[in-house]
Amino acid sequence: MNLIVYPLYLINDNIEHYQSHKEIIELNISHISKFFAPENIKIIGKRVKNWSEMINDLMENIQLLLNTKNNVLLYEADNFIIEDFKELFELNKFTLFALCNNGSKLDSTLPGGVYLNAGLAYFPFTNFKNYFNFPKLDATNSSEASLIYEKQINNMFYSQFSSHVEGLDYIKLNSGFSEYNWRGLLCVDIDKRFKYKSLPTAKKIKSIHFLNLSEYIHKNEGFKPFWYKIYVDKLVNGENKKKVIISILLHYKKYVLLNNYKKAKLFKYLLKVVLN
């Protein structure tokens, strides 16, 4: 069976964040039910003390689903699916879909241009025992746990290939970069480290990762927790995808603190989206 999985955990009894995540997940499910069977969407979660306990439980549940011959698309709650994505279930490898702005803070072998974002991950059940190797997390700090999780997810992906370049080539050939798990701010950090530098036009984007509570932007005005719900509401209500994506880029342009060089890169990408 092909499944979408959303994590929804009550972390450290933060009811406010839990309810906000729940509302957005329910909005996304109401939207994707137009093209994907609701019975194939699972929400996994429970009350946990910290981020590590959440990830450990989530990975255990995914492993159980793989053991029972389910293909799993894992979407973080702030990753909004816009259009049909059934082609992803045809992939034959564990796959990530977009690069991070910079490299891992924990592993120098995962530099910018190689380090992949884990906001969307595809776990095929075929041969999963060859790639699924996830040591349990024990960090009590959420930021540290998040970094360890993403490093381990990257290691799982690249373990399927003889080199980082081979893994990157696989993504480019089979799904394209950032067409799924699109993050508009990536454009400001793409440089010579990146083999694949082009970001998609609005037409090709099928899901948007808003980076809620991201270390990169959460201290800036305009990025309070769940700042992105206004854009989720627009997409659910049928507003033109390109118009919404342009609005998101303009929001970044207005509020993200960037130097002039990065501002120019953001404007260049915004222009590409507007003109195509």
For residues 121 and 96, the answer to whether their CB atoms sit within 8 Å is yes
The answer to pTM > 0.85 is yes
Distance CA 121, CA 94 (A): 7
| Domain ranges, ordered by start, for the chain | 2-275
C-alpha closest to that of 3 among 48, 34, 43, 31: 43
For residue 31, what are the CA distances in angstroms to 9, 121, 143, 148? 22, 20, 31, 32
- Which tokens is 184 given? 């508009």
- Which tokens is 44 given? 């996994």
| pLDDT 10s digits, 114-129 | 999 999 999 999 999 9
Instruction: Please list the ranges in the chain whose pLDDT falls under 70.
Output: 213-219
Contacts of 89 (CB under 8 A, 6+ apart): 2, 71, 73, 122, 124
| pLDDT 10s digits, 194-219 | 999 999 999 999 999 997 755 555 56
> Could you count the other beta carbons within 10 Å of the beta carbon of residue 20?
16
Query: Please, what is the Cα angle at 189 between 185 and 191, to 5 degrees?
Result: 140
Query: Would you state the pLDDT for residue 169?
Result: 98
